[in-house]
Amino acid sequence: MNIVACVKQVPDTEALIKVKPDGSGIDEGGIKWVMNPYDEYGVEEALRLKEAKGGEVTIVSVGPARAMETIRTALAMGAEKGVHVSDPLLDNTDAYTTAAALAAVIKGLNPDIIFCGQRAIDDDSGQVGSILAAILGIPQVTIVTKLEMADGKIKAIKPIEGAQLVIESTLPCVITTQKGLNEPRYASLPGIMKAKKKPVDVKNAAALGIATEPKAKVAKMTPPPDRAPGKIIAGDDPAAKAAELVRLLREEAKVI
Amino acid sequence: MYFDETHEAFRASIRRFVDKEINPYMDEWEETTAPLHELFKKMGDLGFLGIRYDPKYGGQGLDYWYETVMLEEIGRIHGMGVSTAIAVQTNMATPAIAAFGSEYLKETYLKPAITGDMVTAIAVTEPDAGSDVFAIKSKAIKKNGYYVLNGSKTYITNGTQADYLTLLAKTSDEPGYHSFGLFVVPTNLPGFHVSKKLDKLGLRSSDTAELFFDNVKIPAENVIGDDREGFICQMKQFQHERFAVLPGTCVGVDNMIAMTVDYLRQRIVFGKPLITKQVLRHRLAGWLMRNEALRQLTYHIVKMKMEGLDATKEVSMGKYLAGQLISEVAGGCLQMYGGMGFMNETLISRYFRDARIMSIGGGADEVMLEIIARLEGF
């Protein structure tokens, strides 16, 4: 099987995010970067599929030079090779352009199945997998928590409000992965050493022949307003304090 | 400056392992002690337990810098019991087998320690011989193709769970240093007894035992190297043991200071956060300065080891400084936490209890100072 897993490098979930003073983006100083957790499920599922059915796993990522670390992490987990689309023109680009870059790479790989995280935890846009499937003209099953493959078809489970859908699809298709699909493995030390020698193709936008002008731009980023300080009701009379609390909840907080 | 991207990738993997497989269970393991077979198997599968050892026996064949990364990251474990158990496996009970053991011993005992299929312990200390290793009384006398072992050992980390011990015993009554043997003693041999599991001030997530040997017949091939040079082998092995505590101490001290600073920022006293008090700020800064000195000494020792130089003096200095610093910082941070620090639910109280061993175990502070003095020629 020819399996592709798309990965994005994102700030660590525990990183303290600060917006740049000019609102053009986040301040990247001091941030630790990790593989998008939803993409990890995709990499893990790709590896399990390879281990069960044979074949190879190719990791594809669009991102700045540092995204190479994330590709190496996936290679250390057990993928065979990588493609890194690295181009300053694509830094912080939109979902459509990212998907177009991925599609340009993936077309040449002739995959049987493609995994994407259902969304990235940084911009939370949740569009790349779907746009990728549309550009490639193949089916997609999104937010998958269980996957089986038999007779050249996949059967995927997708939770919905109060129930779950069982969806069958032909191959090739795009699967976007959700928490619960699997428990991603740790990169072993031998895996990390081997990953150094695995091939990673680095390509820019020109080589892929894609337009770099994003269709959507982030106009401005603003942090959420600071939480207002709490209010302490002073006084010695519990009854009066309770009455004041009720009045404040009703008139100021307007919750009762 | 010291670590490249491959070291950092390894760091990220082991950090994740500590965060997911160890730290969430530490509170429970403080009550029950950590299940080492289960934990070591997971670590062995990931190649974490044989970093420097020969790939022929399942090791990674990597250098001291990789080992340092591992020792730093286990310093992030919430408390020092489990990191001690791991370091016993990697740096205290197995280096002599790797350095001086026969092909048979490496294949039979080093390999399963690296894969995590066996749990190991180092058995040197006895009820009447701690710092004075020379005074041990356990005897292993050669007879009919066996060494018959009698005696007892105490304060043995991993002692109730170990599959084998790396054990030092007298092999003859002759005076001098050439009358000791270092042995691999499987704990399933008849005559091996765990006299008791010891109750300790700290390191409660790690089991510590008193062991008793009653005519235990150790197969002759289980002697590590020469059966008269065990004392020398063990003194060399001690260097790995003492070094092993340095990287984790630096990380532990950093973490204690970081958690204390977080607390001091939130704790309002007399209308201001405690972190604004100069007396506290300066104490914290002073500890950071000394911790940085310890870290630089640690990295210097790694460089010396990489060059094949003898770092006995520097390791002794590092071990002494580490023991002094971690206890002072744990006690000092607990003081800054005030009443909260005295509560078992606050992590700093565990560090306070655990830190105390550092000036005692693996060669007490006084022994470290004596080694330094002797090496200086006075």
Burial B346-374 (b: 16+ CB within 10 A, else e): bbbbbbbbbbbbbbebbbbbebbeebbee
Stretch A194-223: mean pLDDT = 94
CB pairs < 8 Å spanning A and B: 43
Asked if B45's CB is within 8 angstroms of A195's CB, the reply is: no
Instruction: Look up residue B180 and give its two tokens.
Output: 């000791």
Stretch B156-174: mean pLDDT = 96
A252: pLDDT confidence band, cut at 50, 70 and 90? confident
B46 inside 8 A of chain A by CB: yes
A208: pLDDT confidence band, cut at 50, 70 and 90? very high
Whether the per-residue pLDDT at B330 is higher than 90: the answer is yes
B17 inside 8 A of chain A by CB: yes
Residues of B in contact with A189 (CB under 8 A): 10, 13, 46-48, 51, 60, 62, 66
Q: What is the pLDDT of residues B238-291, one digit of tens each?
A: 989 999 999 999 999 999 999 999 999 999 999 999 999 999 999 999 999 999
Quick one: pLDDT at residue B320?
Answer: 97
B6 inside 8 A of chain A by CB: yes
Selecting from A69, A189, A191 the residue whose C-beta is nearest the C-beta of B5 gives: A69
Averaged pLDDT of chain A: 94
B4 inside 8 A of chain A by CB: no
* Helix residue ranges, H only, chain B: 5-17, 26-32, 36-45, 64-73, 81-87, 95-100, 103-105, 111-115, 230-266, 278-306, 312-337, 347-355, 365-375
Domains and CATH numbers, chain B: 5-119 (1.10.540.10), 121-228 (2.40.110.10), 232-375 (1.20.140.10)
Q: Output the CA–CA distances (angstroms, integers) from residue A151 to A148, A169, A220, B302, B341, in the order listed.
A: 10, 11, 49, 56, 61
Asked if B62's CB is within 8 angstroms of A189's CB, the reply is: yes
Selecting from B5, B8, B51 the residue whose C-beta is nearest the C-beta of A189 gives: B51
Quick one: pLDDT at residue A14?
Answer: 85
Q: Are B70 and B121 in contact (CB under 8 A)?
A: no
| Residue carrying structure tokens 């957790």 | A37
Interface predicted TM-score (ipTM) over 0.85: yes
Quick one: pLDDT at residue B218?
Answer: 97
Instruction: Look up residue A103 and give its two tokens.
Output: 């599609």
Highest mean predicted confidence (pLDDT) among A29-33, A228-232, B21-25, B172-176: B21-25
CATH topology of domain A2-208: Rossmann fold (3.40.50)
Q: What is the pLDDT of residues B117-152, one digit of tens each?
A: 999 999 999 999 988 888 999 999 999 999 999 999
Selecting from B5, B8, B46 the residue whose C-beta is nearest the C-beta of A189 gives: B46
Whether the per-residue pLDDT at A30 is higher than 90: the answer is no
Quick one: pLDDT at residue A228?
Answer: 81
Whether the per-residue pLDDT at A115 is higher than 90: the answer is yes
Whether the per-residue pLDDT at A232 is higher than 90: the answer is no
Asked if B46's CB is within 8 angstroms of A186's CB, the reply is: yes
Asked if B12's CB is within 8 angstroms of A188's CB, the reply is: no
Stretch B185-196: mean pLDDT = 96
Q: B61: which residues sit within 8 A by CB, 6+ positions away?
A: B52, B53, B54, B55
Candidates A121, A164, A171; CA nearest to A143 is A164
Whether the per-residue pLDDT at A15 is higher than 90: the answer is no
A256: pLDDT confidence band, cut at 50, 70 and 90? confident
Residues of A in contact with B66 (CB under 8 A): 189
Nearest-neighbour CA in chain A from B329: distance (Å): 26
Q: Are B14 and A188 in contact (CB under 8 A)?
A: no
Asked if B62's CB is within 8 angstroms of A193's CB, the reply is: yes
Nearest-neighbour CA in chain B from A70: distance (Å): 9
What is residue A176's three-state secondary structure?
A: strand
Selecting from B6, B12, B13 the residue whose C-beta is nearest the C-beta of A196 gives: B6
What backbone torsions phi and psi does residue B314 show, to the nearest 5 degrees?
A: -65, -40
Asked if A187's CB is within 8 angstroms of B9's CB, the reply is: yes
B15: pLDDT confidence band, cut at 50, 70 and 90? very high
Q: DSSP character for A172? A: S
pTM of the model: 0.90
Asked if A186's CB is within 8 angstroms of B9's CB, the reply is: no
Residues of A in contact with B116 (CB under 8 A): none
Residues of B in contact with A76 (CB under 8 A): 9, 13
Catalogue the active-site residues of B: 241
**Residue ranges covered by each domain of chain A:** 2-208, 228-256
Residues of A in contact with B62 (CB under 8 A): 189, 193
Asked if A72's CB is within 8 angstroms of B12's CB, the reply is: no
Asked if A72's CB is within 8 angstroms of B5's CB, the reply is: yes
